[in-house]
Chain A
């Protein structure tokens, strides 16, 4: 079983719809992240959370919101989807480092297409 699970794996929807992407983890990590990946732009951080109910904006948070109600779950919402939010979305987790950074562990991604 995957340690970091994203649902759905693929989603096609229309402009203006509300969409929620779910991420759950069994690694027991405190930190969770949402990224989007676009060709030629690499990974860009949307939001991150260091603990339950801790929410921090990343590089490109406009148009997105997140919820961290439990340690194992971190959901990403698009309140009113627009076509330029079409991308591959990744969730990741990491431990809290003691004065150092820790590796991040990724889910398999959600491919989102907005028409």
Chain B
């Protein structure tokens, strides 16, 4: 079945760039997503990329998609302490009765040191 893998932890210094990586298995997924979860809160949709795109930029966020390697990354430029959170990668199920459901990775906890 489909699976989404991401590393569990990332630590960076304030002002540096953060890169969170994700690999997925379903090459038919139409959209791929990044969600952010701050402490005590639900998951907030951060950004997403359509599967026919290689890159999407939104202010400090850059999403890169390598379809050949099934690799998705989220780059946060000029990382701030407010960016400390858990970041989830997600792809969509493309087949069967659960088509349209999202498969989430286990989340990468980003810690930003001052």
Instruction: Flag if B100 contacts A103 (CB, 8 Å).
Output: no
Instruction: Flag if A90 contacts B100 (CB, 8 Å).
Output: no
Question: Interface residue tally of chain A, by bracket?
Answer: 20 to 34
Q: Is the interface of B mostly helix, strand, loop or mixed?
A: loop
State whether the Cβ of B67 lies closer than 8 Å to any Cβ in chain A: no
Instruction: Flag if A103 contacts B31 (CB, 8 Å).
Output: yes
State whether the Cβ of A100 lies closer than 8 Å to any Cβ in chain B: yes
A residues with a Cβ closer than 8 A to B are 4, 31, 33, 40-43, 45, 48, 56, 90, 92, 94, 96-97, 99-109
22 contacts between A and B (CB under 8 A): A41-B106, A42-B88, A42-B107, A43-B104, A56-B98, A90-B43, A94-B102, A100-B31, A101-B91, A101-B94, A101-B101, A102-B31, A102-B100, A103-B31, A103-B33, A103-B45, A103-B102, A105-B45, A106-B35, A106-B44, A107-B42, A109-B42
